[in-house]
Amino acid sequence: MLELRLVQATLFKNVVEALGDLFSTAHFNSSRTGLELQAKDNSRVTLIMLLLRAEAFDHYLCDRGLSMGLNLAGMAKAFCCTNNDDIITIKAEEDWSDTVTFTFESPEDGDEISYFHFDFMVINGVPLEIPEYPESEYQAIVRMPSAKFMPICNKLSSFGDRDTVVIISVDKESVDFLSRGKTGTLTIFCRETQTVDKPKEPTLIEMKEKVSLMFDLRYMNSSKASTLSDQVTISLSSKLPAVFEYKITEMSCIRYYMLPRNEGR
Amino acid sequence: MLELRLVQATLFKNVVEALGDLFSTAHFNSSRTGLELQAKDNSRVTLIMLLLRAEAFDHYLCDRGLSMGLNLAGMAKAFCCTNNDDIITIKAEEDWSDTVTFTFESPEDGDEISYFHFDFMVINGVPLEIPEYPESEYQAIVRMPSAKFMPICNKLSSFGDRDTVVIISVDKESVDFLSRGKTGTLTIFCRETQTVDKPKEPTLIEMKEKVSLMFDLRYMNSSKASTLSDQVTISLSSKLPAVFEYKITEMSCIRYYMLPRNEGR
Amino acid sequence: MLELRLVQATLFKNVVEALGDLFSTAHFNSSRTGLELQAKDNSRVTLIMLLLRAEAFDHYLCDRGLSMGLNLAGMAKAFCCTNNDDIITIKAEEDWSDTVTFTFESPEDGDEISYFHFDFMVINGVPLEIPEYPESEYQAIVRMPSAKFMPICNKLSSFGDRDTVVIISVDKESVDFLSRGKTGTLTIFCRETQTVDKPKEPTLIEMKEKVSLMFDLRYMNSSKASTLSDQVTISLSSKLPAVFEYKITEMSCIRYYMLPRNEGR
């Protein structure tokens, strides 16, 4: 049996929206330690994972692991008219039921309660166990404010189209984003924040080796994830899937795992 | 001859917009007592009626009844760029003309005047005489703030799609709205406002018999009508068309008459 | 070689957007005196010209005239995510390059620089030399606030559709805009501002002869140009292309040259 409660709907709604924009279905896997969402694109180039640890919930009861396939896009659409300050309760019975119920209640006015019952779906592919590599395995790690990364993605998107690819190149003290469109080329150059400037949210680059990798812009441009977190951490290596991580709270994060594209494709 | 004047365009514009969203054409029927708009959907499941009594106008002259078929959707589109505080004058000559003129003038700056001349149209079906049944004929009557009803309709819409049906069930002290979508089921439960709470706009339920009826969400979700009125009154009976009434002023109201759908359809 | 700098991106961005809405490509012609943009519609009914004199730039270097065909719509789309207070630098080398580079930099944070490289395009038709006729050659000249002209165009658009034509008729003390749609006719009547009123932005009419000309609404309705200038000057004659001029600063203006349509078309 699963019974979770979040006193503020915002986080869960934003996460579902952020993921529902890109993926139509997702695995919701609950365990004693937390709730995990996993979604993959059809070509299996991108895998997105959201971790909400048990401590992030106001009430967390999960006596046995439960894996639910759900229509993520339908959930995102359904939740869009609920209030951000509603209390959410998530309930599922492992044994006999094939639905999960999300209950939205206003904290003030208990006179109106919305019960969303979602049917479980069969989703191709099992949820993956994703190994967490230590930072030292990556050739370069870039940390920058989401408020800086999001407009960069928007510029690259405006320049190109849905199928645009972006080359991210990291050098000792800078990172470059390059995109080719029908009209020409856009290069956005970002320098590492100088220590003398000391802003609250610096751009930091740790480079062991120069690296230059190509990605689908579509999955990079997760503007909704950017609103959930102040900082994005981009871990790059030519030998591992790249990770774009948004830490939401100490207990939660969204990670986009992306296989770099080959130039030749 | 017909000559009407409204010192504030807002009401008339909002009404035309509210109806123009759902119906492409309407009958405008003027009589000595007021102006009535009537629009029907093609399957004749829904009839919408707006009553603006003569007293609601700043000037009202109608020496003989006049029935004009007009392109409602075209009017809604045309009026959208006019100012809400313009003065509207409506003029038509019964005998020889086949157009009605809506004049929009700024109350301050008389230097610019817009004359909208609309051609009369032939509309299938004559305007209906709609009997007004006493409240006692209905099995249940629900009164709730528009500000509560509108988000309920929006949630039901977000959960389903354009063809979604909604089952409204009234019990002694509560009303339920249930909608089935591709992903599952949504139930919104509303309890009657407790008298101890005494809010300005309570939810009130008068139930003589339990009733459960099915409607097309499309016509229920009249968010623009909701902005015209603080309260909606829903009168339900399995033997009469349901009425969703928005009282605008003491002298005006919008009524949606809806035939409940049969479960089997 | 061409090297221009504008300390505030707003003007250039707005101009590109205003033109990119209507025309997909444009000639950018630079000379010692300034930068000129020219775009034509396919049927050659409308020509739009933007003049930015050298003095309008913070830095202006152009040793030889250069004519560049550019994808205007692509530029408008690409620039939409840049900041309005960025510093723009425009650079092109006449001799060997076939691209122009627009560099956007934040005035505060030099850590991020965007380089937009646009390829030159071959555009049908050479840039035209447009003679400037004296005001006395026109039958009528109407000056009105953009804030008055823009809503007039919007009303005419809402009434009609993309292919709507508008008849502008100037009489001694008034100007009329008439548009026919599927539902009827809209006439907007504007009187010359009376001198006793003395508003800051009057509507002024200089009429030598009554004139009544027909135009494509599509090109008249340049709402983005209206935001660049407080006033529009409409110069009309049955013998010359009409001119809709928006003066931006003392040194810059946008002019729409439009051939009146024949009633018979």
What is the pTM for the complete model shown? 0.83
Q: Within an 8 Å CB–CB cutoff, is residue B71 touching chain C?
A: yes
A–B interface: beta-carbon pairs under 8 A: 60
Per residue in B209-227, pLDDT (tens digit) is: 999 999 988 878 776 777 7
Per residue in A107-163, pLDDT (tens digit) is: 887 789 999 999 999 887 777 777 888 999 999 999 999 989 999 999 998 888 777
**pLDDT tops 50 at residue A231:** yes
**Do the Cβ atoms of C155 and B75 come within 8 Å?**
no
Residue in chain B closest to C153 (alpha carbons) equals B81
Q: In chain B, what residues touch C154 (CB-CB under 8 Å)?
A: 81
* Greatest extent of chain B over all pairs of C-alpha atoms, in Å: 62
Instruction: Please check whether residue A119 is in contact with residue A44, taking contact to mean a CB–CB distance below 8 angstroms.
Output: no
Q: Residue A188: which of A212, A213, A169 has the closest Cα?
A: A169
**Do the Cβ atoms of A74 and B193 come within 8 Å?**
no
Q: Pick A119's closest partner by Cβ from B159, B184, B189.
A: B184
Residue in chain A closest to C25 (alpha carbons) equals A183
**Do the Cβ atoms of C183 and B111 come within 8 Å?**
no
What's the pLDDT band for C264 if we cut at 50, 70, 90? very low
Q: Within an 8 Å CB–CB cutoff, is residue A183 touching chain C?
A: yes
Tokens of A64: 């046995």
Q: Within an 8 Å CB–CB cutoff, is residue B200 touching chain A?
A: no
**Do the Cβ atoms of B71 and C182 come within 8 Å?**
yes
Q: Pick C71's closest partner by Cβ from A183, A191, A192.
A: A183
Q: Within an 8 Å CB–CB cutoff, is residue B59 touching chain C?
A: no
* pLDDT score of C263: 57
Per residue in B228-259, pLDDT (tens digit) is: 888 999 999 999 999 999 988 777 888 989 88
**Do the Cβ atoms of B188 and A80 come within 8 Å?**
no
Residue in chain B closest to C204 (alpha carbons) equals B111
Best of B105, B111, B120 to substitute, by most chain C Cβ atoms within 10 angstroms, is: B111
Q: Within an 8 Å CB–CB cutoff, is residue C155 touching chain B?
A: yes
Q: Pick C77's closest partner by Cβ from A158, A190, A203.
A: A158
Q: In chain C, what residues touch A151 (CB-CB under 8 Å)?
A: 81
User: Of C145 and C198, which is predicted with more confidence?
Assistant: C145
Please tell me the distance in Å from A108's CA to the nearest CA on chain C: 40
Q: Within an 8 Å CB–CB cutoff, is residue A116 touching chain B?
A: yes
* pLDDT score of A265: 38
Q: Give the SS3 label for residue A128.
A: coil
* pLDDT score of A88: 95
Task: Identify residue B11 by its one-letter amino acid code.
Answer: L
Please tell me the distance in Å from B157's CA to the nearest CA on chain A: 8
User: Of C161 and C75, which is predicted with more confidence?
Assistant: C75
Instruction: Please check whether residue A104 is in contact with residue A87, taking contact to mean a CB–CB distance below 8 angstroms.
Output: yes
CATH number assigned to the domain covering A135-258: 3.70.10.10
Residue in chain A closest to B182 (alpha carbons) equals A74
Q: Within an 8 Å CB–CB cutoff, is residue A155 touching chain C?
A: yes
Instruction: Please classify residue A52 by burial: count the beta carbons closer than 10 Å to its beta carbon, then call 0-12 exposed, 13-18 middle and 19+ buried.
Output: buried
Q: In chain C, what residues touch A158 (CB-CB under 8 Å)?
A: 77-81
Question: C40-51 burial, b if ≥16 CB within 10 A, otherwise e?
Answer: bbeeebbbbbbb
* pLDDT score of A196: 65
The pLDDT of C239-252, averaged and rounded, is 88
* pLDDT score of A245: 92
* pLDDT score of B44: 72
Which residues partner with B62 through β-bridges? B2
Q: Do domains A2-119 and A135-258 have the same CATH topology?
A: yes
Per residue in C13-72, pLDDT (tens digit) is: 888 888 887 888 999 999 999 999 998 887 777 888 888 899 989 999 998 888 899 999
Q: How far apart are CA C188 and CA B78, in angstroms?
A: 13
Q: Give the SS3 label for residue A97.
A: coil
Q: In chain C, what residues touch B112 (CB-CB under 8 Å)?
A: 148, 152, 188-191
Residue in chain A closest to C111 (alpha carbons) equals A191
Best of B152, B153, B159 to substitute, by most chain A Cβ atoms within 10 angstroms, is: B159
What's the pLDDT band for A95 if we cut at 50, 70, 90? low
The span from the first CA to the last CA of chain C, in angstroms, equals 46
Please tell me the distance in Å from B232's CA to the nearest CA on chain A: 16
Q: Which residues of chain B have pLDDT under 50?
A: 264-265
Q: 3-class secondary structure for chain C? A: CEEEEECCHHHHHHHHHHHHCCCCEEEEEECCCEEEEEEECCCCCEEEEEEEEHHHCCEEEECCCEEEEEEHHHHHHHHCCCCCCCEEEEEECCCCCCEEEEEEECCCCCCEEEEEEEECCCCCCCCCCCCCCCHHHCCEEEEEEHHHHHHHHHHHHHHCCCCCEEEEEECCCEEEEEEECCCEEEEEEEECCCCCCCCCCCCEEEECCCEEEEEEHHHHCCHHHHHHCCEEEEEECCCCCEEEEEEEECCEEEEEEECCECCCC
**pLDDT tops 60 at residue C120:** yes
**Do the Cβ atoms of A116 and B154 come within 8 Å?**
no
**Do the Cβ atoms of B159 and A111 come within 8 Å?**
no
**Do the Cβ atoms of C158 and B117 come within 8 Å?**
no
Q: 3-class secondary structure for B110-125? A: CCEEEEEEEECCCCCC
B–C interface: beta-carbon pairs under 8 A: 59
Q: Within an 8 Å CB–CB cutoff, is residue C154 touching chain B?
A: yes
Q: In chain C, what residues touch A187 (CB-CB under 8 Å)?
A: 114-115, 117
CATH 1.10.238.10 fits C2-119, yes or no: no
Please tell me the distance in Å from C183's CA to the nearest CA on chain B: 6
**Do the Cβ atoms of C184 and B81 come within 8 Å?**
no
**Do the Cβ atoms of A114 and B154 come within 8 Å?**
no
**pLDDT tops 60 at residue A82:** yes
The average confidence (pLDDT) of chain C is 87
* pLDDT score of B226: 76
Domain boundaries, chain B: 2-119, 135-258
Q: Pick C155's closest partner by Cβ from B71, B81, B119.
A: B81
**pLDDT tops 80 at residue C88:** yes
Q: Pick A158's closest partner by Cβ from C81, C99, C112.
A: C81
Q: How far apart are CA B101 and CA B118, in angstroms?
A: 6
Q: Within an 8 Å CB–CB cutoff, is residue C120 touching chain A?
A: no
**Do the Cβ atoms of A190 and C112 come within 8 Å?**
yes
Q: A residues 96-115 near B, CB within 8 Å?
A: 99, 110-115
Instruction: Give just the sign of the alpha carbon dihedral A219, A22, A104, A60.
Output: negative
Helix, strand, coil tally for chain A in percent (to 5): 20, 45, 35
Q: Within an 8 Å CB–CB cutoff, is residue B215 touching chain C?
A: no
* pLDDT score of C101: 95
**pLDDT tops 60 at residue C204:** yes
* pLDDT score of A191: 92
Q: Pick A81's closest partner by Cβ from B154, B181, B183.
A: B154
**Do the Cβ atoms of A112 and B148 come within 8 Å?**
yes
Please tell me the distance in Å from C152's CA to the nearest CA on chain A: 31
